[in-house]
A and B are shown apart, each in its own frame.
Chain A
């Protein structure tokens, strides 16, 4: 078991790569699909090892491994997970499986190349979440760009080429600023290892001048803001989300947006506590603008994919608010919200994919009153929409609630504006539900009369995600416990969190503090 604990993360990184290689060598389309499925299933099973053997009471990184890679530059292959990344790794393997299943019917040409890229992307995303070496992190971070841009560009909608190039160049520009920061930091500390850098900075053996720290912080921040995305660097997002093929959009919205938010917590908050403290208000305000602005835009969209794209902007804004409330509870909420948003967004995109497969349209005016033809679909639609809105007992509620607690602790008005986001999300998601599946059958859309309900595969995948939202909502302590110590350890040294915030949120609830 020790051996497995030691090498499980490398196995997680290599499994999709082996899958990709097998896919490349597979003879026919059928073999390609099955191999991709087996590979992603195997990776999912492997990743389940993590939560079962994660020590909730242990501090620091677990399942860690450190092997020298490029000796001339002192670069190591260093991996490990803590409470922040634990569930993100599992989310990656779950959503990759969902994505592989979605591609089963929706990708029809050049199947082999598509699955190859998809599995490559999966390995890259896992790498991002487990890297403890800044170089390795940057490698994985950038490498995810290539398969995603190709997937958007080669299998996407009408404007696919433009969307892919815009996505690529936008993200690349941010990444290069981050690379600048990484190199500068390497120059100051002499190492790429995140844990070592944090130790050096905390112990005072390396002291960053205040303005240096701010510039380094900003270099990372821009890259993460673009990826998440956070207002005002989000303009690539609606286009990419709309043009990308369904399996790619699940990876993009479900996982790659989490890479940005994860980076904010893992690098910006962890490595630059003083700068984080100084600039927290700025970042929170950007997040809040995203929350409100995204919500308002989602409310007036007429295209289903765009509604979900803007709702993502709004929900990811909340994550940023939670992370930069710089409280334990807010950070835990941010992590939880990332997981919840990954599951619900994937579900919502799958749902609109179902509609698109049947009607070839995503315009609201083409739908309405389809609940009578598609009862199962309607049920799942309402369920997942409610999970995204934050209905108690479902996943969205827990994350949002914890983020509000964190935001209120930091500044009252943070919490008040953030809460507006929930009202907005209820408004636009209910509007979407009303105009698509309820109401009078749409007279102009003749195609709706014969529209068929979800197929077996679609139904099971959607039901699985729906059950997952319920499990996340009801069994939240299971998911929150591993994050507690890591979230505590992240809090800026200069800003000790109030005593009440160090206890687990549920303990606080039980004690009636809140």
Chain B
């Protein structure tokens, strides 16, 4: 069978990432444990940067590939860029972090890159089986990464918890795929959409069950309530660099799948699944923010906060139509930037064995470590949703979409939740600048790559808040293309 060269160019980022990961495994293969970690880290960085650059090549070759399994359009390009950029930031902070934790192993980078390949496949696939494979590749790598800190019981506990619950959720997703196939006779999203528009209304209940099952599986992955229970424990147990990774890339990739399946394949049935999203949005926002109020462990707090932010994205999701899609996309970009920025600072301050990970350790650091504090403050302000940061504009975009679709109640709940959330994010700033130091925190580790990660995120957050024109226009355009306008 002849495969056009275009097909390979359309999955170029995936190919580059896979090649890099395999190369890392070869480098590590013959060496003493951990002795070549620095080299592997550098290779991983270069490979990921190359993958990011190859997204540009991809964008020059839009279209379908491999019998319509894979699709390069604005939507998938956006998520490719976002996911690979997130991995790049995670790599930058892990290089310093692993050194501080004495966890330098090359496998870490290989796992990270394989996970990224999985996520990129999720973003580009329009075939449920391929989506499932991508989801599994990224999930299995994340399970392993969670338990990467083997000396720590918490890390192993997190890995086990995530593995058990995660496999369970994946099974739900698979059931959903099977039922969808039963109802429509295909696993290709666009074919499903076409055949569902032909069939008589008799399949409505089957589709509703299929949508519900897929919703369970995907909601688990984005830690949306009521499937969020695992999040705080896993986020707390996993090494900070892995927590940072899990809170960014997989979330974005799963939302990409979420949006594509529900809008493209099941778009006609939006009136039936709309209420699931609506309820999950309200529950996620409220439970996430209420849970975060009393946390003093930074990782746990950000875990609850990530539940709440999944809720905000779901608000955009519930605001059906291209306004909702573009709002969700833009918000995910902002969320990735601000969340990774916060985690970059946390991992920088954590020190060996993650000694300084509690809010109380942060008291009085503001004027001692200005770079870390300013970056963390900018990210916290963005998480609150203060103007001139991406977090604000993202939220504005979401609530505007909600108002536009007459979801006034949902928008008001979201706005009130933002006020509630202001308290616990602000508390971090208050500890940094307004409290005298109580714990003797040693100088944070000097690491150029970590500083680059922190500053890049902080600058990105401000850029998204002040000059978002190009990205916003791109997002609006590609959301319109997704809904087939």
| Cβ contact within 8 Å between A153 and B430 | yes
Among listed A43-51, A170-178, A277-285, A394-402, interface-contacting one: A170-178
Within A159-179, which residues are at the interface with B (CB < 8 Å)? 160-161, 164-165, 168-169, 172-173, 176-177, 179
| A contact residues around B433 at 8 Å (CB) | 150, 153-154
B391 to chain A, nearest CB (A): 12
| A contact residues around B472 at 8 Å (CB) | 70-73
B342 interface residue per 8 A CB criterion = no
With an 8 Å Cβ cutoff, the count of chain B residues facing the other chain is 36
B58 interface residue per 8 A CB criterion = no
| Cβ contact within 8 Å between B422 and A169 | yes
| Cβ contact within 8 Å between B430 and A165 | yes
Chain A, residue nearest B468 (CB): A70
Known: A153-B430, A187-B404. A172 touches B415 (CB 8 A): no
Known: A73-B472, A153-B434, A183-B411. A169 touches B426 (CB 8 A): yes
| Cβ contact within 8 Å between A71 and B469 | yes
| Cβ contact within 8 Å between A183 and B426 | no
The B interface, classified by DSSP as helix, strand, loop or mixed, is: helix
Among listed B16-24, B350-358, B392-400, interface-contacting one: B392-400
Fill in one digit per residue for A277-318: 1 if any B CB lies within 8 Å of its CB, else 0: 000000000000000000000000000000000000000000
B375 interface residue per 8 A CB criterion = no
A158 to chain B, nearest CB (A): 11
| Cβ contact within 8 Å between A150 and B429 | yes
Name the one of A72, A146, A172 contacting B469, with C-beta atoms under 8 angstroms.
Answer: A72
Name the one of A142, A143, A164 contacting B434, with C-beta atoms under 8 angstroms.
Answer: A164
Instruction: Give the CA-CA distance A385 to B396 in the complex, in Å.
Output: 45
A149 interface residue per 8 A CB criterion = yes
With an 8 Å Cβ cutoff, the count of chain A residues facing the other chain is 34
| B contact residues around A164 at 8 Å (CB) | 430, 434
| A contact residues around B430 at 8 Å (CB) | 153, 161, 164-165
Chain A, residue nearest B431 (CB): A161
| Cβ contact within 8 Å between B469 and A165 | no
| Cβ contact within 8 Å between A172 and B384 | yes
A226 to chain B, nearest CB (A): 11
| A contact residues around B422 at 8 Å (CB) | 168-169, 172-173
Instruction: Give the CA-CA distance A70 to B476 in the complex, in Å.
Output: 13
Instruction: Give the CA-CA distance A186 to B396 in the complex, in Å.
Output: 12
| B contact residues around A70 at 8 Å (CB) | 393, 468-469, 472
Name the one of A72, A153, A169 contacting B473, with C-beta atoms under 8 angstroms.
Answer: A72
A145 interface residue per 8 A CB criterion = yes
Within A97-119, which residues are at the interface with B (CB < 8 Å)? 110, 113
A138 interface residue per 8 A CB criterion = yes
| Cβ contact within 8 Å between A165 and B397 | no
| B contact residues around A177 at 8 Å (CB) | 415
B229 interface residue per 8 A CB criterion = no
Chain B, residue nearest A184 (CB): B403
| Cβ contact within 8 Å between B434 and A154 | yes
Instruction: Give the CA-CA distance A150 to B403 in the complex, in Å.
Output: 33
| B contact residues around A150 at 8 Å (CB) | 429, 433
A139 interface residue per 8 A CB criterion = yes
| B contact residues around A165 at 8 Å (CB) | 423, 426-427, 430
B381 interface residue per 8 A CB criterion = yes
Chain A, residue nearest B384 (CB): A172
A45 to chain B, nearest CB (A): 27
B242 to chain A, nearest CB (A): 32
Instruction: Give the CA-CA distance A140 to B416 in the complex, in Å.
Output: 20
| Cβ contact within 8 Å between B426 and A154 | no
Known: A143-B386, A160-B434. A180 touches B411 (CB 8 A): yes
| Cβ contact within 8 Å between B415 and A179 | yes
Chain A, residue nearest B477 (CB): A72
B407 to chain A, nearest CB (A): 11
Name the one of B367, B399, B429, B468 contacting A113, with C-beta atoms under 8 angstroms.
Answer: B367
| Cβ contact within 8 Å between A138 and B419 | no
Instruction: Give the CA-CA distance A165 to B387 in the complex, in Å.
Output: 18
| B contact residues around A149 at 8 Å (CB) | 426, 429
B165 interface residue per 8 A CB criterion = no
Chain A, residue nearest B473 (CB): A72
| A contact residues around B388 at 8 Å (CB) | 139, 143
| A contact residues around B393 at 8 Å (CB) | 70
Instruction: Give the CA-CA distance A139 to B416 in the complex, in Å.
Output: 18
B458 to chain A, nearest CB (A): 14
| B contact residues around A73 at 8 Å (CB) | 396-397, 400, 472
Known: A149-B426, A150-B433. A172 touches B399 (CB 8 A): no
Fill in one digit per residue for B456-485: 1 if any A CB lies within 8 Å of its CB, else 0: 000000000000110011001000000000
| B contact residues around A180 at 8 Å (CB) | 399, 411-412, 415
| Cβ contact within 8 Å between B412 and A161 | no
A28 to chain B, nearest CB (A): 16
Instruction: Give the CA-CA distance A94 to B206 in the complex, in Å.
Output: 70
B13 interface residue per 8 A CB criterion = no
Instruction: Give the CA-CA distance A165 to B419 in the complex, in Å.
Output: 12
B442 to chain A, nearest CB (A): 22
B418 interface residue per 8 A CB criterion = yes
Known: A110-B367, A161-B434. A168 touches B426 (CB 8 A): yes
Known: A153-B434, A180-B411. A142 touches B476 (CB 8 A): no
Known: A110-B367, A184-B408. A169 touches B399 (CB 8 A): no
A172 to chain B, nearest CB (A): 5
Chain B, residue nearest A187 (CB): B403
| Cβ contact within 8 Å between B400 and A183 | yes
| Cβ contact within 8 Å between B404 and A139 | no
Name the one of B387, B400, B404, B411 contacting A143, with C-beta atoms under 8 angstroms.
Answer: B387
Instruction: Give the CA-CA distance A140 to B388 in the complex, in Å.
Output: 9
| Cβ contact within 8 Å between B400 and A71 | no
| Cβ contact within 8 Å between A179 and B399 | yes
B203 interface residue per 8 A CB criterion = no
Instruction: Give the CA-CA distance A169 to B386 in the complex, in Å.
Output: 12
| A contact residues around B392 at 8 Å (CB) | 139, 142
Instruction: Give the CA-CA distance A154 to B367 in the complex, in Å.
Output: 10
Instruction: Give the CA-CA distance A161 to B434 in the complex, in Å.
Output: 6
Chain B, residue nearest A72 (CB): B472
| A contact residues around B469 at 8 Å (CB) | 70-72
| B contact residues around A110 at 8 Å (CB) | 367
Chain B, residue nearest A110 (CB): B367
Fill in one digit per residue for A181-192: 1 if any B CB lies within 8 Å of its CB, else 0: 001101100000
| Cβ contact within 8 Å between B404 and A146 | no
| Cβ contact within 8 Å between B367 and A142 | no
B74 interface residue per 8 A CB criterion = no
| Cβ contact within 8 Å between B416 and A176 | yes
A178 to chain B, nearest CB (A): 10
B366 interface residue per 8 A CB criterion = yes
B268 interface residue per 8 A CB criterion = no
Instruction: Give the CA-CA distance A143 to B388 in the complex, in Å.
Output: 8
| Cβ contact within 8 Å between A179 and B434 | no
| Cβ contact within 8 Å between A71 and B411 | no
| B contact residues around A71 at 8 Å (CB) | 469, 472-473
| A contact residues around B386 at 8 Å (CB) | 142-143, 145-146
Query: A142-B387, A164-B430, A176-B418 provided; 11 other pairs, C-beta below 8 A?
Result: A72-B472, A139-B388, A139-B392, A140-B387, A149-B429, A161-B435, A168-B422, A176-B415, A177-B415, A183-B400, A184-B408
29 pairs, CB–CB < 8 Å, chain A vs chain B: A70-B469, A72-B468, A72-B473, A73-B472, A139-B388, A140-B387, A142-B392, A143-B387, A143-B388, A146-B381, A149-B426, A150-B433, A153-B429, A153-B434, A160-B434, A161-B434, A161-B435, A164-B430, A164-B434, A165-B423, A165-B427, A168-B422, A168-B426, A173-B422, A176-B416, A176-B418, A179-B415, A186-B403, A187-B403
- Nearest first, the 6 closest Cβ-Cβ pairs linking A and B are A153-B434, A139-B387, A72-B472, A173-B419, A161-B434, A176-B415
